[in-house]
Amino acid sequence: MCVTTAMVIPGENELLLGAIPMEDMDVLIHPQRRELVVNPEHPYYAQMKLKGIRR
């Protein structure tokens, strides 16, 4: 389980996720290649799901 802080900014802004929530969703950051990589231990499905809530 991962709990993170979110900031809601008015207007149409892009979503920015940090490294820890992304790793919780089994997406790893490869800093040398500057890309996102699916976790090789779970290549076919994520271990957690992200659901956004709009108010």
pLDDT of residue 46: 66
User: Exposed (0-12), middle (13-18) or buried (19+): which is 23, by Cβ within 10 Å?
Assistant: middle
Query: Can you point out the beta strands (E) in the chain?
Result: 27-30, 35-38
Calculate mean pLDDT across residues 11-35. 81
Per-residue pLDDT band for 21 (boundaries 50, 70, 90) equals confident
Q: Structure tokens of 18?
A: 């940090």
Contacts of 54 (CB under 8 A, 6+ apart): none
Measured on CA atoms in the order 49, 50, 52, 53, is the torsion positive or negative? positive
pLDDT of residue 32: 93
pTM: 0.47
